[in-house]
Amino acid sequence: MSRPIRIMMWIVGLAFTLYLVLLAILWSQQERLIYPAPQTVGPTTGGFEEISYPTDDGLAISAGYREAEADKPTIVYFHGNGADWVSSVVATDRLVPAGYGVLAAEYRGYRGNPGTLSEEGLYLDGRAAIAFLARRGISADDIVIIGNSIGSGVATHLAAETGPRALVLISPFASMRQLVAEKIRWFPTSMFLRHRYENIEKIGAVEAPVLLLHGDADRVIPHAHTRQLAQVRRDAKLVIYPGKGHDLAWHDEAEEAVLSFLHTIPSESVTE
Residue 57: pLDDT over 80: yes
Stated pTM of the model: 0.89
Residue 184's pLDDT is what?
Answer: 74
Average pLDDT over residues 144-157: 98
Average pLDDT over residues 99-123: 96
CB-based contacts of 68, cutoff 8 Å, min separation 6? 74, 99, 100, 101, 138, 142
Quickly state the pLDDT bin for 12 (edges 50, 70, 90).
low
Average pLDDT over residues 37-49: 79
Higher-pLDDT residue of 82, 191: 82
Residue 16's pLDDT is what?
Answer: 55
Question: Comparing 93-107, 175-189, 210-224, which segment has the lowest mean pLDDT?
Answer: 175-189
Higher-pLDDT residue of 105, 17: 105
Average pLDDT over residues 112-133: 97
Residue 124: pLDDT over 70: yes
Residue 268's pLDDT is what?
Answer: 54
Residue 40's pLDDT is what?
Answer: 72
Q: Nearest to residue 144, comparing CAs of 166, 161, 125?
A: 166
Residue 173's pLDDT is what?
Answer: 98
Higher-pLDDT residue of 150, 11: 150
154 in Cβ contact with 146 (< 8 Å): no
Average pLDDT over residues 72-78: 97
Residue 195's pLDDT is what?
Answer: 81
pLDDT (tens digit per residue) in 218-272: 999 999 999 999 999 999 999 999 999 999 999 999 999 999 999 998 765 444 4
Residue 248's pLDDT is what?
Answer: 97
Question: Comparing 91-105, 107-121, 140-154, 189-203, which segment has the lowest mean pLDDT?
Answer: 189-203
